[in-house]
Chain A
Protein backbone atom coordinates (compact mmCIF):
# COMPACT_ATOMS: atom_id res chain seq x y z
CA UNK A 1 0.00 0.00 0.00
CA UNK A 2 1.39 3.30 -1.08
CA UNK A 3 0.35 6.70 0.18
CA UNK A 4 0.89 8.21 -3.29
CA UNK A 5 -1.59 5.74 -4.75
CA UNK A 6 -4.18 6.57 -2.13
CA UNK A 7 -3.63 10.25 -2.74
CA UNK A 8 -4.25 9.87 -6.46
CA UNK A 9 -7.31 7.70 -5.76
CA UNK A 10 -8.76 10.44 -3.60
CA UNK A 11 -7.90 13.17 -6.10
CA UNK A 12 -9.68 11.24 -8.84
CA UNK A 13 -12.83 10.80 -6.77
CA UNK A 14 -13.20 13.85 -4.54
CA UNK A 15 -13.20 16.93 -6.72
CA UNK A 16 -11.58 20.09 -5.51
CA UNK A 17 -9.78 18.68 -2.50
CA UNK A 18 -6.29 19.84 -1.69
CA UNK A 19 -4.03 17.08 -0.45
CA UNK A 20 -0.47 17.20 0.64
CA UNK A 21 1.83 14.42 1.78
CA UNK A 22 3.68 15.38 4.95
CA UNK A 23 6.92 13.44 5.04
CA UNK A 24 8.00 11.80 8.28
CA UNK A 25 11.67 11.95 9.13
CA UNK A 26 11.75 8.95 11.44
CA UNK A 27 12.59 5.38 10.38
CA UNK A 28 8.94 4.43 10.96
CA UNK A 29 8.13 5.72 7.47
CA UNK A 30 4.56 6.60 8.48
CA UNK A 31 4.02 9.59 6.22
CA UNK A 32 0.76 11.42 6.56
CA UNK A 33 -1.84 13.00 4.36
CA UNK A 34 -2.85 16.58 5.03
CA UNK A 35 -6.42 17.27 3.97
CA UNK A 36 -8.02 20.69 3.74
CA UNK A 37 -10.77 21.33 6.24
CA UNK A 38 -13.48 21.92 3.64
CA UNK A 39 -13.07 18.52 2.03
CA UNK A 40 -12.08 16.55 5.13
CA UNK A 41 -15.46 14.91 5.51
CA UNK A 42 -15.75 13.96 1.83
CA UNK A 43 -12.24 12.53 1.78
CA UNK A 44 -12.89 10.49 4.91
CA UNK A 45 -16.17 9.19 3.50
CA UNK A 46 -14.38 8.14 0.34
CA UNK A 47 -11.62 6.41 2.34
CA UNK A 48 -14.20 4.37 4.21
CA UNK A 49 -16.55 3.53 1.36
CA UNK A 50 -14.82 3.89 -1.97
CA UNK A 51 -11.07 3.49 -1.65
CA UNK A 52 -9.14 0.28 -2.15
CA UNK A 53 -8.46 -0.91 0.47
CA UNK A 54 -11.46 0.39 2.39
CA UNK A 55 -10.37 1.98 5.63
CA UNK A 56 -13.15 0.78 7.87
CA UNK A 57 -11.31 1.02 11.19
CA UNK A 58 -10.36 4.37 12.68
CA UNK A 59 -7.99 3.44 15.41
CA UNK A 60 -6.58 6.58 16.94
CA UNK A 61 -7.77 10.17 16.97
CA UNK A 62 -5.87 12.91 18.65
CA UNK A 63 -4.94 16.56 18.58
CA UNK A 64 -1.59 18.26 18.40
CA UNK A 65 -0.79 21.83 19.28
CA UNK A 66 1.71 23.68 17.08
CA UNK A 67 2.22 27.16 18.48
CA UNK A 68 3.94 29.80 16.38
CA UNK A 69 7.62 29.07 16.33
CA UNK A 70 10.36 31.16 14.85
CA UNK A 71 12.90 29.17 12.94
CA UNK A 72 16.09 30.98 12.06
CA UNK A 73 18.22 29.64 9.27
CA UNK A 74 21.71 30.90 8.58
CA UNK A 75 22.76 31.40 5.01
CA UNK A 76 26.02 32.75 3.65
CA UNK A 77 25.50 35.76 1.45
CA UNK A 78 28.08 37.72 -0.52
CA UNK A 79 27.95 41.39 0.34
CA UNK A 80 30.02 44.48 -0.20
CA UNK A 81 31.49 45.51 3.13
CA UNK A 82 33.56 48.67 2.99
CA UNK A 83 33.98 48.24 -0.72
CA UNK A 84 35.30 44.68 -0.40
CA UNK A 85 33.17 41.69 -1.27
CA UNK A 86 32.89 39.39 1.73
CA UNK A 87 30.89 36.35 2.74
CA UNK A 88 28.54 37.31 5.54
CA UNK A 89 26.16 35.17 7.56
CA UNK A 90 22.62 36.27 7.13
CA UNK A 91 19.92 34.98 9.44
CA UNK A 92 16.54 34.47 7.86
CA UNK A 93 13.68 34.13 10.28
CA UNK A 94 10.63 32.20 9.22
CA UNK A 95 7.53 31.40 11.19
CA UNK A 96 6.03 27.91 11.39
CA UNK A 97 3.07 26.53 13.25
CA UNK A 98 0.28 28.60 14.66
CA UNK A 99 -2.44 25.99 14.27
CA UNK A 100 -3.98 22.95 15.90
CA UNK A 101 -3.98 19.62 14.19
CA UNK A 102 -6.41 16.70 14.35
CA UNK A 103 -4.78 13.38 13.48
CA UNK A 104 -6.57 10.16 12.54
CA UNK A 105 -4.91 6.75 12.21
CA UNK A 106 -6.90 4.61 9.80
CA UNK A 107 -6.65 0.89 9.19
CA UNK A 108 -8.42 -1.61 7.02
CA UNK A 109 -9.69 -4.61 8.95
CA UNK A 110 -10.76 -6.39 5.77
CA UNK A 111 -7.50 -5.98 3.88
CA UNK A 112 -5.28 -5.74 6.95
CA UNK A 113 -3.60 -2.60 5.69
CA UNK A 114 -2.58 0.59 7.39
CA UNK A 115 -1.98 2.92 8.95
CA UNK A 116 -3.00 5.86 6.82
CA UNK A 117 -2.43 8.99 8.84
CA UNK A 118 -4.95 11.71 8.06
CA UNK A 119 -4.32 15.23 9.31
CA UNK A 120 -6.47 18.34 9.32
CA UNK A 121 -5.31 21.77 10.42
CA UNK A 122 -7.27 24.60 11.94
CA UNK A 123 -6.70 28.13 10.68
CA UNK A 124 -5.26 29.42 13.93
CA UNK A 125 -5.14 28.59 17.63
CA UNK A 126 -7.58 31.17 18.97
CA UNK A 127 -10.85 31.69 17.15
CA UNK A 128 -10.95 29.71 13.97
CA UNK A 129 -10.34 26.28 15.48
CA UNK A 130 -12.89 24.31 13.46
CA UNK A 131 -12.40 21.00 11.71
CA UNK A 132 -15.17 18.66 10.53
CA UNK A 133 -16.05 15.85 12.90
CA UNK A 134 -15.53 12.37 11.47
CA UNK A 135 -17.70 10.72 14.13
CA UNK A 136 -20.59 10.25 11.65
CA UNK A 137 -18.19 8.16 9.57
CA UNK A 138 -16.30 6.29 12.28
CA UNK A 139 -18.10 6.04 15.58
CA UNK A 140 -14.78 5.28 17.29
CA UNK A 141 -13.93 8.96 16.99
CA UNK A 142 -16.79 9.94 19.30
CA UNK A 143 -14.98 9.93 22.63
CA UNK A 144 -11.59 10.68 21.15
CA UNK A 145 -12.80 13.84 19.41
CA UNK A 146 -14.45 14.89 22.64
CA UNK A 147 -11.10 14.39 24.33
CA UNK A 148 -9.30 16.44 21.69
CA UNK A 149 -11.87 19.20 22.16
CA UNK A 150 -11.49 18.96 25.93
CA UNK A 151 -7.71 19.05 26.09
CA UNK A 152 -6.77 21.02 22.95
CA UNK A 153 -9.82 23.12 22.20
CA UNK A 154 -10.38 21.87 18.66
CA UNK A 155 -14.03 22.33 17.68
CA UNK A 156 -15.35 19.39 15.69
CA UNK A 157 -18.24 20.59 13.53
CA UNK A 158 -20.99 18.01 13.22
CA UNK A 159 -20.09 16.03 16.33
CA UNK A 160 -23.31 14.68 17.89
CA UNK A 161 -22.34 15.43 21.49
CA UNK A 162 -19.33 17.70 21.80
CA UNK A 163 -18.80 18.10 25.55
CA UNK A 164 -15.75 17.94 27.72
CA UNK A 165 -14.71 14.36 28.41
CA UNK A 166 -12.10 14.35 31.15
CA UNK A 167 -12.15 17.85 32.65
CA UNK A 168 -15.30 19.04 34.32
CA UNK A 169 -18.00 21.20 32.76
CA UNK A 170 -17.17 24.82 33.41
CA UNK A 171 -13.42 24.35 33.19
CA UNK A 172 -12.17 27.00 30.87
CA UNK A 173 -8.71 26.38 29.53
CA UNK A 174 -7.30 23.59 27.39
CA UNK A 175 -4.63 21.75 29.37
CA UNK A 176 -2.78 20.04 26.54
CA UNK A 177 -1.91 23.32 24.80
CA UNK A 178 1.80 24.02 24.92
CA UNK A 179 1.28 27.44 26.48
CA UNK A 180 -1.15 26.26 29.15
CA UNK A 181 -0.44 27.72 32.59
CA UNK A 182 -1.49 25.86 35.73
CA UNK A 183 -4.13 27.70 37.75
CA UNK A 184 -3.21 28.99 41.21
CA UNK A 185 -6.07 27.16 42.81
CA UNK A 186 -6.01 23.55 41.78
CA UNK A 187 -8.46 22.40 44.38
CA UNK A 188 -11.53 24.31 43.33
CA UNK A 189 -13.88 22.20 41.34
CA UNK A 190 -17.55 23.14 41.35
CA UNK A 191 -19.60 20.18 42.48
CA UNK A 192 -23.24 19.63 43.12
CA UNK A 193 -22.54 19.58 46.83
CA UNK A 194 -23.00 23.28 47.63
CA UNK A 195 -26.33 23.24 45.94
CA UNK A 196 -27.43 20.02 47.63
CA UNK A 197 -26.32 21.25 51.04
CA UNK A 198 -28.41 24.38 50.65
CA UNK A 199 -31.47 22.33 49.84
CA UNK A 200 -30.80 20.00 52.75
CA UNK A 201 -30.77 23.01 55.09
CA UNK A 202 -34.40 23.66 54.31
CA UNK A 203 -35.39 20.40 55.97
CA UNK A 204 -33.73 21.18 59.28
CA UNK A 205 -35.42 22.91 62.22
CA UNK A 206 -34.51 26.58 62.65
CA UNK A 207 -32.65 26.15 65.96
CA UNK A 208 -30.24 23.77 64.22
CA UNK A 209 -29.43 26.30 61.58
CA UNK A 210 -32.17 25.50 59.11
CA UNK A 211 -33.84 28.11 57.02
Chain B
Protein backbone atom coordinates (compact mmCIF):
# COMPACT_ATOMS: atom_id res chain seq x y z
CA UNK B 1 0.00 0.00 0.00
CA UNK B 2 1.38 3.34 -0.85
CA UNK B 3 1.65 6.13 1.64
CA UNK B 4 -0.41 8.39 -0.53
CA UNK B 5 -3.49 6.22 -0.40
CA UNK B 6 -3.23 5.25 3.25
CA UNK B 7 -5.22 7.75 5.29
CA UNK B 8 -3.57 6.67 8.52
CA UNK B 9 -0.19 7.99 7.42
CA UNK B 10 0.31 11.69 7.96
CA UNK B 11 1.59 13.21 4.80
CA UNK B 12 3.33 16.50 4.81
CA UNK B 13 1.99 18.86 2.23
CA UNK B 14 4.44 20.60 -0.09
CA UNK B 15 3.35 23.97 1.24
CA UNK B 16 4.55 23.14 4.69
CA UNK B 17 7.96 21.88 3.64
CA UNK B 18 8.54 25.04 1.66
CA UNK B 19 8.31 27.03 4.81
CA UNK B 20 10.46 24.76 6.92
CA UNK B 21 13.65 26.53 7.74
CA UNK B 22 16.73 24.88 9.04
CA UNK B 23 19.47 26.47 11.04
CA UNK B 24 21.58 29.01 9.30
CA UNK B 25 25.16 27.99 8.78
CA UNK B 26 27.93 30.45 9.36
CA UNK B 27 31.14 29.79 7.56
CA UNK B 28 34.34 31.71 7.33
CA UNK B 29 35.74 31.76 3.82
CA UNK B 30 39.38 32.67 4.02
CA UNK B 31 41.75 34.10 5.03
CA UNK B 32 43.75 31.21 3.59
CA UNK B 33 41.59 30.13 0.73
CA UNK B 34 42.68 29.80 -2.90
CA UNK B 35 39.62 31.67 -4.15
CA UNK B 36 40.32 34.83 -2.18
CA UNK B 37 43.44 35.71 -4.20
CA UNK B 38 45.32 36.65 -1.06
CA UNK B 39 44.59 36.90 2.63
CA UNK B 40 40.99 38.01 2.75
CA UNK B 41 38.10 36.65 4.74
CA UNK B 42 34.38 36.64 4.19
CA UNK B 43 32.04 35.74 7.02
CA UNK B 44 29.23 34.12 5.12
CA UNK B 45 25.86 33.09 6.52
CA UNK B 46 24.21 30.38 4.51
CA UNK B 47 20.70 29.06 4.29
CA UNK B 48 21.31 25.70 2.70
CA UNK B 49 23.65 26.74 -0.03
CA UNK B 50 22.24 30.22 -0.46
CA UNK B 51 24.03 33.26 0.84
CA UNK B 52 21.87 35.32 3.20
CA UNK B 53 24.60 37.51 4.64
CA UNK B 54 28.19 38.21 3.77
CA UNK B 55 30.60 40.43 5.65
CA UNK B 56 34.11 40.93 4.32
CA UNK B 57 36.95 41.12 6.84
CA UNK B 58 39.99 43.14 5.85
CA UNK B 59 43.33 43.99 7.27
CA UNK B 60 45.40 40.81 7.10
CA UNK B 61 47.95 42.53 4.89
CA UNK B 62 47.69 45.92 6.56
CA UNK B 63 51.03 47.61 7.10
CA UNK B 64 49.88 51.23 7.18
CA UNK B 65 51.39 52.16 3.88
CA UNK B 66 50.14 55.74 4.30
CA UNK B 67 51.86 56.24 7.64
CA UNK B 68 55.14 54.85 6.33
CA UNK B 69 54.94 57.16 3.33
CA UNK B 70 54.63 60.16 5.64
CA UNK B 71 58.09 59.38 7.01
CA UNK B 72 59.63 59.02 3.53
CA UNK B 73 60.74 61.61 1.03
CA UNK B 74 58.61 62.11 -2.07
CA UNK B 75 61.09 60.06 -4.10
CA UNK B 76 61.29 57.38 -1.40
CA UNK B 77 57.55 56.71 -1.73
CA UNK B 78 57.90 55.78 -5.39
CA UNK B 79 59.28 52.21 -5.04
CA UNK B 80 56.84 51.68 -2.22
CA UNK B 81 53.88 52.24 -4.51
CA UNK B 82 54.95 49.12 -6.44
CA UNK B 83 53.82 47.07 -3.48
CA UNK B 84 50.23 48.33 -3.51
CA UNK B 85 48.82 46.44 -6.43
CA UNK B 86 51.82 44.23 -7.04
CA UNK B 87 50.47 42.98 -10.37
CA UNK B 88 50.44 46.47 -11.90
CA UNK B 89 53.39 48.31 -10.41
CA UNK B 90 53.86 50.62 -13.38
CA UNK B 91 50.37 52.12 -13.25
CA UNK B 92 50.79 52.65 -9.50
CA UNK B 93 53.98 54.58 -10.21
CA UNK B 94 52.12 56.58 -12.81
CA UNK B 95 49.27 57.55 -10.49
CA UNK B 96 51.69 58.68 -7.79
CA UNK B 97 53.88 60.54 -10.28
CA UNK B 98 50.80 62.25 -11.68
CA UNK B 99 49.67 63.34 -8.22
CA UNK B 100 53.09 64.81 -7.42
CA UNK B 101 53.20 66.50 -10.81
CA UNK B 102 49.78 68.03 -10.16
CA UNK B 103 50.95 69.14 -6.72
CA UNK B 104 54.09 70.82 -7.98
CA UNK B 105 53.04 71.77 -11.50
CA UNK B 106 55.63 69.69 -13.35
CA UNK B 107 55.54 69.20 -17.11
CA UNK B 108 56.55 65.83 -18.51
CA UNK B 109 58.56 65.59 -21.74
CA UNK B 110 56.93 64.14 -24.83
CA UNK B 111 58.97 60.95 -25.03
CA UNK B 112 58.38 60.16 -21.38
CA UNK B 113 54.62 60.52 -21.90
CA UNK B 114 54.77 58.00 -24.72
CA UNK B 115 56.87 55.62 -22.64
CA UNK B 116 54.27 55.92 -19.88
CA UNK B 117 51.46 55.06 -22.24
CA UNK B 118 53.37 52.09 -23.69
CA UNK B 119 54.35 50.62 -20.33
CA UNK B 120 50.97 51.49 -18.80
CA UNK B 121 49.00 49.76 -21.52
CA UNK B 122 51.31 46.74 -21.40
CA UNK B 123 50.52 46.60 -17.69
CA UNK B 124 46.81 46.63 -18.47
CA UNK B 125 47.31 43.78 -20.95
CA UNK B 126 49.13 41.55 -18.50
CA UNK B 127 46.73 42.37 -15.66
CA UNK B 128 43.64 41.54 -17.68
CA UNK B 129 45.25 38.43 -19.17
CA UNK B 130 46.10 37.20 -15.70
CA UNK B 131 42.65 38.03 -14.41
CA UNK B 132 40.67 36.14 -17.03
CA UNK B 133 42.98 33.18 -16.50
CA UNK B 134 42.35 33.24 -12.78
CA UNK B 135 38.61 33.66 -13.32
CA UNK B 136 38.61 30.45 -15.35
CA UNK B 137 40.59 28.79 -12.58
CA UNK B 138 38.00 29.94 -10.04
CA UNK B 139 35.30 28.44 -12.22
CA UNK B 140 36.99 25.10 -12.06
CA UNK B 141 38.71 25.12 -15.44
CA UNK B 142 41.80 24.00 -13.64
CA UNK B 143 45.15 24.89 -15.07
CA UNK B 144 44.93 25.11 -18.82
CA UNK B 145 43.30 28.52 -19.44
CA UNK B 146 45.40 30.04 -16.68
CA UNK B 147 48.57 28.71 -18.25
CA UNK B 148 47.54 30.05 -21.65
CA UNK B 149 47.00 33.47 -20.06
CA UNK B 150 50.24 33.31 -18.10
CA UNK B 151 52.19 32.39 -21.22
CA UNK B 152 51.19 35.80 -22.65
CA UNK B 153 51.69 37.63 -19.37
CA UNK B 154 55.20 36.19 -19.24
CA UNK B 155 56.12 37.90 -22.49
CA UNK B 156 55.07 41.26 -21.10
CA UNK B 157 56.95 40.65 -17.87
CA UNK B 158 60.08 39.84 -19.91
CA UNK B 159 59.74 43.24 -21.54
CA UNK B 160 59.46 44.88 -18.13
CA UNK B 161 62.52 43.04 -16.94
CA UNK B 162 64.55 44.18 -19.93
CA UNK B 163 63.44 47.77 -19.40
CA UNK B 164 63.44 48.23 -15.64
CA UNK B 165 65.43 45.31 -14.26
CA UNK B 166 62.45 43.90 -12.38
CA UNK B 167 59.53 41.83 -13.50
CA UNK B 168 56.98 43.01 -10.98
CA UNK B 169 58.47 45.70 -8.73
CA UNK B 170 59.32 47.94 -11.67
CA UNK B 171 59.76 51.32 -9.95
CA UNK B 172 59.87 52.81 -13.42
CA UNK B 173 58.49 56.33 -13.21
CA UNK B 174 59.68 59.51 -11.61
CA UNK B 175 57.81 62.77 -11.20
CA UNK B 176 58.86 64.65 -14.30
CA UNK B 177 59.42 61.62 -16.51
CA UNK B 178 60.70 58.07 -16.45
CA UNK B 179 63.71 56.47 -14.80
CA UNK B 180 65.49 55.00 -17.82
CA UNK B 181 65.24 54.99 -21.57
CA UNK B 182 64.53 51.95 -23.72
CA UNK B 183 67.41 49.52 -24.21
CA UNK B 184 68.45 48.67 -27.77
CA UNK B 185 65.99 46.41 -29.52
CA UNK B 186 63.30 46.76 -26.86
CA UNK B 187 60.81 48.47 -29.13
CA UNK B 188 61.04 45.69 -31.70
CA UNK B 189 60.43 43.16 -28.98
CA UNK B 190 57.43 45.12 -27.75
CA UNK B 191 56.07 45.37 -31.28
CA UNK B 192 56.31 41.61 -31.63
CA UNK B 193 54.46 41.02 -28.34
CA UNK B 194 51.74 43.51 -29.25
CA UNK B 195 51.26 42.07 -32.71
CA UNK B 196 51.12 38.53 -31.35
CA UNK B 197 48.62 39.37 -28.62
CA UNK B 198 45.43 39.35 -30.73
CA UNK B 199 46.19 35.76 -31.70
CA UNK B 200 46.07 34.78 -28.04
CA UNK B 201 42.82 36.67 -27.56
CA UNK B 202 41.27 35.01 -30.61
CA UNK B 203 42.31 31.62 -29.32
CA UNK B 204 41.06 32.35 -25.83
CA UNK B 205 37.77 33.67 -27.12
CA UNK B 206 37.15 30.83 -29.55
CA UNK B 207 37.74 28.37 -26.73
CA UNK B 208 35.67 30.09 -24.09
CA UNK B 209 33.40 32.85 -25.35
CA UNK B 210 30.48 30.58 -26.13
CA UNK B 211 31.47 27.79 -23.78
CA UNK B 212 28.28 26.45 -22.28
CA UNK B 213 29.67 25.96 -18.79
CA UNK B 214 31.18 29.42 -18.73
CA UNK B 215 27.91 30.98 -19.82
CA UNK B 216 25.84 28.99 -17.35
CA UNK B 217 28.12 29.89 -14.49
CA UNK B 218 28.56 33.59 -15.26
CA UNK B 219 25.46 34.95 -16.96
CA UNK B 220 23.00 36.58 -14.61
CA UNK B 221 25.33 36.12 -11.64
CA UNK B 222 26.38 39.04 -9.48
CA UNK B 223 24.45 41.75 -11.28
CA UNK B 224 25.21 45.40 -10.52
CA UNK B 225 22.96 48.04 -12.03
CA UNK B 226 24.26 51.28 -13.47
CA UNK B 227 22.79 53.44 -10.68
CA UNK B 228 24.21 51.14 -8.01
CA UNK B 229 27.62 51.19 -9.63
CA UNK B 230 27.84 54.99 -9.68
CA UNK B 231 26.52 55.38 -6.16
CA UNK B 232 28.91 52.80 -4.75
CA UNK B 233 31.86 54.45 -6.45
CA UNK B 234 32.74 51.47 -8.61
CA UNK B 235 35.30 52.33 -11.21
CA UNK B 236 37.25 50.79 -14.04
CA UNK B 237 36.02 47.59 -15.71
CA UNK B 238 33.60 46.96 -12.83
CA UNK B 239 31.67 50.17 -13.53
CA UNK B 240 31.90 49.92 -17.30
CA UNK B 241 30.53 46.37 -17.28
CA UNK B 242 27.41 47.90 -15.72
CA UNK B 243 27.18 50.43 -18.51
CA UNK B 244 28.76 53.45 -16.81
CA UNK B 245 30.58 55.30 -19.55
CA UNK B 246 33.41 56.61 -17.42
CA UNK B 247 36.95 55.94 -18.53
CA UNK B 248 39.43 58.40 -17.07
CA UNK B 249 41.59 58.10 -20.17
CA UNK B 250 38.70 59.79 -21.98
CA UNK B 251 37.32 61.90 -19.11
CA UNK B 252 40.48 63.41 -17.60
CA UNK B 253 42.62 62.93 -20.72
CA UNK B 254 45.66 62.74 -18.47
CA UNK B 255 49.03 62.38 -20.15
CA UNK B 256 48.60 62.27 -23.90
CA UNK B 257 45.61 59.94 -24.15
CA UNK B 258 43.60 62.32 -26.29
CA UNK B 259 46.01 61.69 -29.17
CA UNK B 260 45.05 58.05 -29.51
CA UNK B 261 41.92 56.72 -31.06
CA UNK B 262 40.37 53.92 -29.07
CA UNK B 263 36.92 52.87 -27.99
CA UNK B 264 35.53 52.32 -24.50
CA UNK B 265 33.72 48.98 -24.29
CA UNK B 266 30.58 48.98 -22.14
CA UNK B 267 28.55 46.14 -20.68
CA UNK B 268 24.78 45.96 -20.70
CA UNK B 269 23.78 43.75 -17.82
CA UNK B 270 26.61 44.06 -15.36
CA UNK B 271 26.99 40.40 -14.51
CA UNK B 272 30.15 38.33 -14.23
CA UNK B 273 30.03 37.47 -17.93
CA UNK B 274 29.99 41.16 -18.88
CA UNK B 275 32.95 41.83 -16.63
CA UNK B 276 34.85 38.95 -18.19
CA UNK B 277 34.06 39.97 -21.77
CA UNK B 278 34.75 43.63 -21.05
CA UNK B 279 38.30 42.81 -20.09
CA UNK B 280 38.82 40.86 -23.28
CA UNK B 281 37.53 43.82 -25.29
CA UNK B 282 39.62 46.26 -23.28
CA UNK B 283 42.72 44.30 -24.11
CA UNK B 284 41.91 44.69 -27.79
CA UNK B 285 41.62 48.47 -27.35
CA UNK B 286 44.89 48.53 -25.41
CA UNK B 287 46.54 46.80 -28.33
CA UNK B 288 45.26 49.58 -30.61
CA UNK B 289 46.69 52.25 -28.29
CA UNK B 290 50.00 50.40 -28.10
CA UNK B 291 50.28 50.15 -31.88
CA UNK B 292 49.74 53.90 -32.24
CA UNK B 293 52.10 54.78 -29.40
CA UNK B 294 54.91 52.54 -30.65
CA UNK B 295 54.49 53.98 -34.14
CA UNK B 296 54.58 57.63 -32.99
CA UNK B 297 57.23 57.40 -30.25
CA UNK B 298 59.39 60.52 -30.63
CA UNK B 299 63.05 61.01 -29.70
CA UNK B 300 63.98 63.38 -26.90
CA UNK B 301 64.64 63.65 -23.18
CA UNK B 302 62.80 61.40 -20.75
CA UNK B 303 63.10 63.61 -17.68
CA UNK B 304 62.02 67.17 -17.12
CA UNK B 305 65.35 68.99 -16.62
CA UNK B 306 63.83 71.50 -14.19
CA UNK B 307 62.68 68.89 -11.67
CA UNK B 308 64.98 68.07 -8.81
CA UNK B 309 63.81 64.67 -7.68
CA UNK B 310 66.30 64.41 -4.82
CA UNK B 311 65.58 66.85 -2.03
CA UNK B 312 62.26 67.61 -3.64
CA UNK B 313 60.19 70.12 -1.64
CA UNK B 314 56.91 71.15 -3.21
CA UNK B 315 55.16 74.30 -2.03
CA UNK B 316 52.52 73.94 0.65
CA UNK B 317 49.24 72.83 -0.85
CA UNK B 318 47.36 69.74 -1.85
CA UNK B 319 46.48 67.77 -4.95
CA UNK B 320 44.42 64.77 -5.96
CA UNK B 321 45.71 62.92 -9.00
CA UNK B 322 44.01 59.91 -10.50
CA UNK B 323 44.48 57.59 -13.43
CA UNK B 324 42.57 54.79 -15.05
CA UNK B 325 44.42 51.84 -13.57
CA UNK B 326 43.72 48.33 -14.84
CA UNK B 327 41.52 47.73 -11.79
CA UNK B 328 39.80 51.10 -11.65
CA UNK B 329 40.35 54.65 -10.57
CA UNK B 330 43.66 54.74 -8.73
CA UNK B 331 44.12 58.08 -7.00
CA UNK B 332 46.68 59.68 -4.76
CA UNK B 333 45.77 62.56 -2.50
CA UNK B 334 48.83 64.45 -1.32
CA UNK B 335 49.16 67.33 1.11
CA UNK B 336 52.43 69.18 1.31
CA UNK B 337 53.46 71.47 4.16
CA UNK B 338 56.62 72.53 2.37
CA UNK B 339 58.79 69.87 3.97
CA UNK B 340 60.58 67.04 2.08
CA UNK B 341 58.00 64.48 3.26
CA UNK B 342 54.34 64.49 2.35
CA UNK B 343 52.20 65.74 5.26
CA UNK B 344 49.40 63.45 4.15
CA UNK B 345 49.62 60.70 1.59
CA UNK B 346 46.41 58.95 0.77
CA UNK B 347 45.84 56.14 -1.70
CA UNK B 348 42.39 55.78 -3.17
CA UNK B 349 42.38 52.02 -3.63
CA UNK B 350 40.06 51.00 -6.48
CA UNK B 351 39.74 47.39 -5.38
CA UNK B 352 38.68 48.20 -1.82
CA UNK B 353 35.91 50.44 -3.09
CA UNK B 354 34.90 47.93 -5.76
CA UNK B 355 34.32 45.48 -2.91
CA UNK B 356 31.62 47.75 -1.43
CA UNK B 357 28.91 45.92 -3.31
CA UNK B 358 30.27 42.42 -2.70
CA UNK B 359 27.48 41.51 -0.29
CA UNK B 360 24.76 42.88 -2.56
CA UNK B 361 26.15 40.93 -5.49
CA UNK B 362 26.36 37.65 -3.58
CA UNK B 363 22.99 37.63 -1.79
CA UNK B 364 20.78 34.84 -3.01
CA UNK B 365 23.51 33.08 -4.91
CA UNK B 366 25.27 29.84 -4.07
CA UNK B 367 28.59 29.47 -2.33
CA UNK B 368 30.33 28.55 -5.56
CA UNK B 369 29.13 31.82 -7.09
CA UNK B 370 30.85 33.88 -4.38
CA UNK B 371 34.12 32.60 -5.74
CA UNK B 372 33.54 33.78 -9.28
CA UNK B 373 31.90 37.05 -8.22
CA UNK B 374 34.96 37.83 -6.14
CA UNK B 375 37.17 36.70 -9.00
CA UNK B 376 35.40 39.06 -11.41
CA UNK B 377 35.99 42.08 -9.15
CA UNK B 378 39.74 41.63 -9.59
CA UNK B 379 41.11 42.33 -6.14
CA UNK B 380 44.70 42.51 -5.00
CA UNK B 381 45.05 42.45 -1.25
CA UNK B 382 48.25 44.47 -1.26
CA UNK B 383 46.08 47.38 -2.31
CA UNK B 384 42.89 46.58 -0.41
CA UNK B 385 44.66 46.42 2.95
CA UNK B 386 47.60 48.73 2.32
Contacts and interface: CB of A to CB of B under 8 A. Distances in A.
B155 interface: no
B191 interface: no
B316 A25 contact: yes
A74 B283 CA distance: 60
A51 interface: no
A117 interface: yes
A141 B353 CA distance: 8
B128 interface: no
Nearest to A62: B346
Given A58-B233, A143-B356, A28 B318 contact: yes
Interface stretch (A2-10, A123-131, A160-168, A195-203): A160-168
Interface of B: 58-59, 62, 64, 66-67, 102-105, 228, 230-235, 244, 246, 251, 314-320, 322, 329, 331, 333, 335-336, 344, 346, 348, 352-353, 355-357, 385-386
Interface of A: 24-28, 30, 32, 56-60, 62, 64, 103, 105, 109, 112, 115, 117, 138-144, 151, 164-168, 175-176, 180
Contacts of A109: 230, 244, 246
Contacts of A25: 315-317
A28 B102 contact: yes
Given A25-B317, A62-B333, A140 B344 contact: no
Contacts of A165: 58-59
A140 B353 contact: yes
A205 B348 CA distance: 53
Contacts of B66: 151, 176
A26 B317 contact: yes
18 contacts: A27-B104, A30-B319, A56-B231, A57-B246, A59-B235, A59-B322, A60-B333, A60-B346, A64-B344, A109-B244, A112-B246, A140-B232, A143-B58, A143-B355, A166-B385, A167-B59, A175-B64, A175-B67
Given A26-B104, A26-B314, A62-B346, A56 B356 contact: no
Contacts of B317: 24-28
Contacts of A141: 233
Given A28-B103, A109-B246, A176 B353 contact: no
A138 B233 contact: yes
B67 A142 contact: no
Given A59-B329, A64-B335, A175-B67, A30 B231 contact: no
Contacts of B59: 164-168
Nearest to B55: A161
B64, B316, B333, most chain A CB atoms within 10 A = B333
User: Nearest 4 pairs between A and B by C-beta?
Assistant: A140-B233, A26-B317, A27-B105, A28-B319
A30 B320 contact: yes
B86 to A, nearest CB: 18
- Secondary structure at the B interface, as helix, strand, loop or mixed, is mixed
- Secondary structure at the A interface, as helix, strand, loop or mixed, is loop
B59, B234, B346, B356, most chain A CB atoms within 10 A = B346
A166 B62 contact: yes
A56 B231 CA distance: 7
Contacts of B103: 26-28
Contact of A24 (B104, B232, B318, B353): B318
A121 to B, nearest CB: 15
Contact of B233 (A24, A62, A139): A139
Contacts of A144: 352-353
A51 B369 CA distance: 40
A141 B331 CA distance: 15
A78 to B, nearest CB: 31
Given A27-B105, A140-B233, A166-B62, A115 B320 contact: yes
Contacts of A58: 233
Contacts of B105: 26-28
A160 to B, nearest CB: 12
B230 A103 contact: no
Contacts of A140: 231-234, 353, 356
A176 B356 contact: no
Contacts of B322: 59
Contact of B316 (A26, A56, A115): A26
Nearest to A177: B67
A64 B318 CA distance: 12
Contacts of A139: 228, 231-233, 356-357
A121 B67 CA distance: 21
A14 to B, nearest CB: 21
A30, A139, A141, A168, most chain B CB atoms within 10 A = A139
A166 B67 contact: no
A139 B315 CA distance: 34
Contact of A105 (B62, B315, B320): B320
B56 to A, nearest CB: 9
B67 A30 contact: no
B233 A59 contact: yes
B257 to A, nearest CB: 14
Contacts of A168: 59
A144 to B, nearest CB: 7
